Amino acid sequence: MTQKKPNILWICTDQQRFDTLGSSGNTFVKTPNLDNLADESANFTNSFVQSPICMPSRASFLTGRYPRTTRLRQNGQTIPIEERPISRILRDAGYYCGLVGKFHLSPSAPEVNETIERRFNDGYNEFNWAGDPQNQWGNHSGYSKFLHDSGQKFKTTIHPDCKYIEIGMPKAFHETTWCANTAIEFIKRQSKNTSPWMFSMNMFAPHHPFNPPMEMLERYISKIESIPLPNAFEDDLSLKPPYQNIDSKGAYGQTLPYHKGLSTNDHRMIRAAYWAMCDLVDDAVGNVLDALERSGQKDDTIVIFMSDHGEMLGDHGIYLKGPYFYDPAIRVPFMMRYPRKITPGEKIGLTELVDVVPTLLEACDLEIHEGIQGQSLWNDLAINKQYTGRDSVYCEYYNAMPHQKTPKPQLTMIRTEEFKLIVDHTNDCGELYHLTENPSETINYWSDKNFIEIKSELLTQLTHRMAFTVDPLPKRIADW
C-alpha cells in the first residue's frame, strides 16, 4: 500500500525576529511550546528572509523564487497571476489547502480592495482571510466576522504608562487566538479525510501596533526595569546610508512616532509588549500542535514555524522595518518537524527561506518546476541528516516601502558567516560588518582601507548572487 503524502501545517508569524524564543536564548519570553517544537525539529538557527519587507518576502518563500524574479518587489504591488505559490502546486497534486489570516500577495489596503485582497489561482480551498486585525473590510475579514458573531467589537486602548503601546483584545478574542482556533477546526475535519492537506496559519502578531492582551503583558510590567534597552546609543548612523538616520527620528520615513529618542521606560515598554505578543503566539501554536496530536496526525504532518521578516525593536535607533539589513530585520526563526523522516537537531548553517518550497516539494515526492530558484534541503535533512548550509545568503530591497520617496532606495546584501556587505545603489555607499568581531553590527568598515580586499571579494560574490536571481522562465524548448 502506497503511503499517503505528508500533510503540511505551515505556521508563519509577522515581523518576528530570531531572538524571541527561549530556545534562541531569550530569558524574558515565555515560549515553552515553541521551545519544545524546536527540540523536536530541524531547527535552522541562522535563517534569513530574501526581503526585510512583508510582500516581497512572502512572494519569495511561497514560490521558491527571489523577490525581483516574482516581480513583487514592493509592498502594494500585485503578484502576477502566472506565479505559482506552493498552495497551488499542492492543490494541483491532490492536496486540500486552507488558510487563515494574512496572505498578502496583493494589496490589502481598503482603498484598493474593499472586500479582500485580490485572489488569483492560489490553490486554497478554504480562505479565511484577515489583512490585519482592524475592522477595515467589514465582515469580508474572517476575523471581523468572528468578532461580530461573538458579539464583540475590535478595540484597543493606549497603555496609561506608555503611549507607544496598546492594550489589545482579550486573549479569547485576539486575532492570534482566532487563527489558532480556525486551524484547530480545519485539522479536526481533515482527520476524517483520506487526501493530504496543507494549512497556512498566518498570524498578524507580533507586528505593530504593539497590542497584546493585558493578561499577557502584566508579567513584564512587574519587571520592566530589568528589560534590556536596545543598542540605539552605540551606533553612529551618520556613517551609514541616509535612510537609517531618517528612520531613527521616526519609523517609516518619520510617518510613525517610534524613534531613537524615546525615554528608557518607553523603549522597555515597547519591548515588553512585543515579547508579550510572542508569548501569545507561543500559546496559540501550542494549542494547535496539541490538536494535531489528538487528531492522530502528528507523525504524518510536516510542521513549519517561521516568520516573514524581523523587527528592529529600537536596535540601531530604529523601529519596525525599512531599507536596512541588520540581523534583527532579516533573521527569523525557522524550524521543520516531520517525525517520520526528519531527525531533530540544531542546524547552524546559513539558510535562505527561498529554499522552503523546493524542500517541501521533494518531501512530498513532487516535481520541482523549472522556475523555482531555491535549493531543496531535503536530502540533507532526511537522507544524509547533515546540514552545512549555504556559503552566503542574499537579500534585496527595491523601493519596497512607499515612505522613502527621494531618493528611492535600491539596496542589496550578501552575508557570509564572517562578514556582511550591503550596497546602497541609490547613494553609491554601503556597509561592511565583521560579524565575528562585531556581531551587533555597529562598526561600518565600508570605507576602511584595511578591508579593501575583503570588500572587493564580497562585491564580486554579491554580483554573482544577483546574476543568478535572473528568471529561469520561460523554459527553453529548443536549441534555436
- Give the tens place of pLDDT for each residue, 172-203: 999 999 999 999 999 999 999 999 999 999 99
- The owner of cell 523555482 is 372
- pLDDT given at position 2: 55
Where b means 16+ CB within 10 Å and e means fewer, 85-96 reads: bbbbbbbeeebb
Task: Say which amino acid occupies 10.
Answer: W
Hey, is 149 helix, strand or coil? helix
pLDDT of residue 256: 95
* Residue 354 DSSP one-character state: G
Q: Which residues of 418-430 are buried (b: 16+ CB within 10 A; e: fewer)?
A: ebbbbbbebeebb
State the cell numbers at 411.
Answer: 539596496
Report pLDDT for 384. 66
Neighbour-count burial of 143, counting CB atoms closer than 10 A to its CB (0-12 exposed, 13-18 middle, 19+ buried):
buried
* Whether the bond into 474 is cis, omega within 30 of 0: yes
Q: 246 pairs with which residues across the strands?
A: none
Q: Are strands 410-415 and 301-307 parallel, antiparallel or unpaired?
A: unpaired
Range list of β-strands (E), 327-400: 331-332, 334-337, 345-347, 351-352, 393-398
Sheet with 301-307: list strands edge to edge.
126-129, 96-101, 197-202, 7-13, 301-307, 334-337, 42-44, 345-347
User: What's the CA gap between 451 and 131, in Å, rounded?
Assistant: 45
pLDDT at 236: 86
Alpha helices in 138-213 (DSSP H): 142-149, 175-190
Give the pLDDT score at 138.
Answer: 82
Provide block-wise average pLDDT over 10 residues at a time, the chain (480 residues).
83 98 97 98 97 98 98 96 97 98 91 86 95 87 95 96 97 98 98 95 97 97 96 84 94 94 97 98 98 97 98 97 98 97 93 98 96 95 82 97 90 98 97 97 96 98 97 95
Instruction: Report the candidate in 267, 263, 281 with the shortest Cα–Cα distance to residue 227.
Output: 267
Asked whether the beta carbons of 88 and 121 are under 8 A apart, the reply is yes
pLDDT of 112 reads 85
Q: What is the pLDDT of residue 3?
A: 67
Give the Å distances, CA to CA, from 248 to 242, 243, 270, 325: 10, 9, 15, 15
Whether 75 contacts 400, CB under 8 Å: yes
Q: Work out the widest C-alpha separation in the chain, in whole angstroms.
A: 71
- pLDDT for the residue numbered 385: 73
Tell me if residue 249 falls in helix, strand or coil: coil
Q: Which amino acid is at 242?
A: P
Count CB atoms within 10 A of the CB of residue 36: 16
Give the pLDDT score at 114: 79
CB 139 within 8 A of CB 130: no
Say how far apart CA 361 and CA 352 lie, in whole Å: 16
In the block, which residue shows the cell 523577490?
67
- Tallying the residues shown for the chain, one arrives at 480
Q: How many CB atoms lie within 10 A of CB 278?
A: 26
User: Which residues is 304 bridged to in the sheet?
Assistant: 10, 336
Q: How many CB atoms lie within 10 A of CB 100?
A: 26
Asked if residues 224 and 237 have their Cβ atoms less than 8 Å apart, the reply is: no
Cell of 169: 483584545
- DSSP, res 99: E
Q: What is residue 404's predicted lDDT score, i.e. its pLDDT?
A: 85
